[in-house]
Amino acid sequence: MAQYEFITDEGKQSRSGAIKLYNAAAFEGMRKVGRISAEILDALVPVIAPGITTEEIDDIVRRLTLEAGAIPATLNYRGFTHSCCTSINHVICHGIPGPKVLKEGDIVNVDVTSILDGWHGDCNRTYLVGDVAIKARRLVEVTYECLMLGIEQAKPGNHMGDIGHAIQVHAEKHRYGVVRDFCGHGIGRLFHDAPEVLHFGRPGTGPEIKPGMFFTIEPMINIGRPEVKVLDDGWTAVARDRSLSAQFEHTIGITDTGCEIFTKSLKGLDRPF
């Protein structure tokens, strides 16, 4: 049985295992930080092109985050030393920015999490680098659809399993593999909190969705098998079969009637096509 706790104070919060239910002031905090993260992803649209390195992308993310008065949440998070994750082609997630040069036809996911006034805004998009083959574009498109179908299920009265189920059905309809080893997460003053948000599941299972919950949905979808391998750097997660992998992520808050997407692009740049 899931437990829930109402969050009324503005202080430090602990990882209690309970699902936190936040108030209006918290929604305002998440709205502000979510917008910053989304605007950073917006700003990357014109700069992600053949020839740029992932550490140049990281430098831009760090600069824009600090200019917005926020802090990159991944900087020194559990030993990660960069301001975003950059995951190219068969890299599923947690790619480490470095000297690697993006080339025409690549797909690259950039995952940005900002902290403002203690609140976390976590989002990612998969970008197309120049001209991209139809097979890869289709994966990116379907992965975006998976995220949005999951978000449609994020409303009071539904269960977390409804979100996972919607994502899984859509991905598997296209014969893609849904990555099981990573999930979305509760978020707020903590970067990663309860509940785990699975991207697969059965309708009506898992915790009931209630107004005031904050969590991410971030499906990782592989063209091939869903199995993951983490490289020796301890971070980079690749598709075991080295098939292409795409991901999209939003941070949302559950309202009385549905949800608010805190990390929505005000410029309509959420999808790269």
Count Cβ neighbours within 10 Å for each residue of 91-108 and write b for 16 or more, e otherwise: bbbbbbbeebebeeebbb
Alpha carbons within 13 angstroms on the beta-carbon side of residue 268 total 1
Q: Does 122 bind ligand MF3 (CB under 6 A)?
A: yes
Q: In degrees, to the nearest 5, what angle opens at C-alpha 266 toward C-alphas 264 and 268?
A: 85
Task: Tell me which of 8, 16, 17, 77 binds ligand MF3, using CB under 6 A.
Answer: 77
The window from 76-84, 128-136, 202-210, 254-262 that contacts ligand MF3 (CB under 6 A) reads: 76-84
The region of 41-49, 55-63, 73-81, 259-267 touching ligand MF3 under the rule CB under 6 A is 73-81
Cβ nearer to ligand MF3, comparing 106 with 218: 218
Q: Is 65 in the site for ligand MF3 (CB under 6 A)?
A: no
Give the Cβ contact number of residue 24 at 10 Å: 8
Residues 144-173 that bind ligand MF3 (CB under 6 A): none
| Residue 218 one-letter amino acid | E
Query: In the complex, what is the shortest distance from the CB of residue 249 to Co ion, in angstroms, rounded to a whole number?
Result: 5
Q: Which of Co ion, ligand MF3, none interacts with 222 (beta carbon under 5 to 8 A by kind)? A: none
Beta carbon nearer to ligand MF3, 85 or 132: 85
d(CA 84, CA 60): 10
State how far the Cα of 121 lies from the Cα of 117, in Å rounded to an integer.
Answer: 11
The two three-digit tokens of residue 46, written as one number: 């014109």
Query: Alpha carbon 1 to chain centroid distance?
Result: 26
Q: Kindly tell me which of 127 and 132 has the beta carbon lying closer to ligand MF3.
A: 127
Quote the least distance from Cβ 217 to Co ion, whole Å: 9
Shortest distance, position 105 Cβ to ligand MF3, whole Å: 25
Among residues 38, 41, 60, 85, the one that binds ligand MF3 under rule CB under 6 A: 85
Nearer of residues 123 and 132 to ligand MF3, judged by Cβ:
123
The interface with ligand MF3 within residues 223-262 (CB under 6 A) comprises 235, 249
Which span sits near ligand MF3 by CB under 6 A: 9-17, 44-52, 74-82, 173-181? 74-82
Cα separation, 83 vs 211, in Å, equals: 31
Among 111, 145, 162, 270, binds ligand MF3 (CB under 6 A): 111
Out of 206, 218, 246, 264, which residue is the one contacting ligand MF3 (CB under 6 A)? 218
Helix 24-44 vs helix 54-67: angle between axes, to the nearest 10 degrees? 140
| Closest listed residue to residue 228, CA positions, set 182, 196, 192 | 182
Closest contact distance (angstroms) between CB of 10 and ligand MF3 is: 23
| Phi, then psi, of 16 in degrees rounded to 5 | -85, -15
Gap between the Cα atoms of 79 and 58, Å rounded: 16
Q: Which residues bind ligand MF3 (CB under 6 A)?
A: 74, 77-78, 80, 85, 94, 111, 113, 122, 216, 218, 235, 249
